[in-house]
């Protein structure tokens, strides 16, 4: 069953098993200060998820990124990142709900698996940023190596 509970400082929406026990698990909390928690009873931000993600008072979305929230952490290879970038196809578009406002981005169904969501209906911009960061880092290594090699060749030519 479902129930709504309240206290002097917050309102909770609870879910409970189909029993006669009125105890439930809080799923949505609205604090007296207006902060909303989804899966957390003590939101510190205007909107906070149990996953650690939140929206600040300034409207900035922050993804949970602490090691505390992650497992199976492994380095992204340069090959994986470059392959994903090659397979990204940026597009211009308008959302059907507001055809007058133009956007740029990607089509979720068309992105490589590395940056796709399970349902392929949305995207996490930070996934794409991580891939781009890896590609830029690798390109910077190549530029540095080529610059060094060019300096060595110029020096060798000057010795003649």
Contact between residue 114 and residue 131 where contact means Cβ atoms under 8 Å apart: yes
Distance CA 160, CA 155 (A): 9
CB proximity list for 30: less than 8 A, separation 6 or greater: 10, 11, 12, 36
HSE at residue 51, side-chain half, CA atoms within 13 A, is 9
Query: In the structure encoding, which two tokens stand for residue 63, read together?
Result: 């993804």
Question: What does the pLDDT read at residue 35?
Answer: 95
* pLDDT (tens place) for every residue of the chain, 160 residues total: 455 666 668 888 888 777 666 667 788 999 999 999 999 989 999 999 999 899 999 888 898 899 998 999 999 999 999 999 999 999 999 999 999 999 999 999 999 999 999 999 999 889 999 999 999 999 999 999 999 999 999 999 987 6
Q: Which residues contact 88 (CB under 8 A, 6 or more apart)?
A: 106, 111, 112, 115, 128
Cα–Cα distance for residue pair 85/112, rounded to 1 Å: 9
Q: Give the tokens for residue 136.
A: 């830029």
pLDDT at 19: 67
């Amino acid at each position: 069953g479902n129930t709504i509970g309240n206290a002097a400082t917050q309102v909770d929406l609870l879910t409970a098993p189909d029993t006669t026990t009125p105890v439930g698990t809080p799923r949505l909390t609205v604090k007296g200060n207006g902060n909303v928690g989804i899966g957390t009873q003590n939101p510190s931000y205007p909107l906070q998820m149990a996953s650690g993600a939140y929206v600040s008072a300034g409207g900035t979305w922050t993804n949970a990124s602490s090691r505390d929230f992650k497992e199976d952490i492994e380095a992204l290879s340069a090959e994986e990142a470059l392959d994903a970038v090659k397979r990204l196809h940026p597009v211009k578009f308008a959302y059907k709900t507001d055809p007058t406002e133009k956007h740029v981005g990607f089509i979720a169904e068309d992105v490589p698996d590395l940056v796709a969501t399970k349902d392929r209906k949305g995207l996490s911009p930070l996934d794409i940023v991580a891939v781009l960061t890896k590609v830029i880092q690798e390109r910077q290594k190549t530029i540095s190596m080529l610059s060094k090699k060019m300096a060595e060749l110029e020096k060798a030519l000057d010795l003649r």
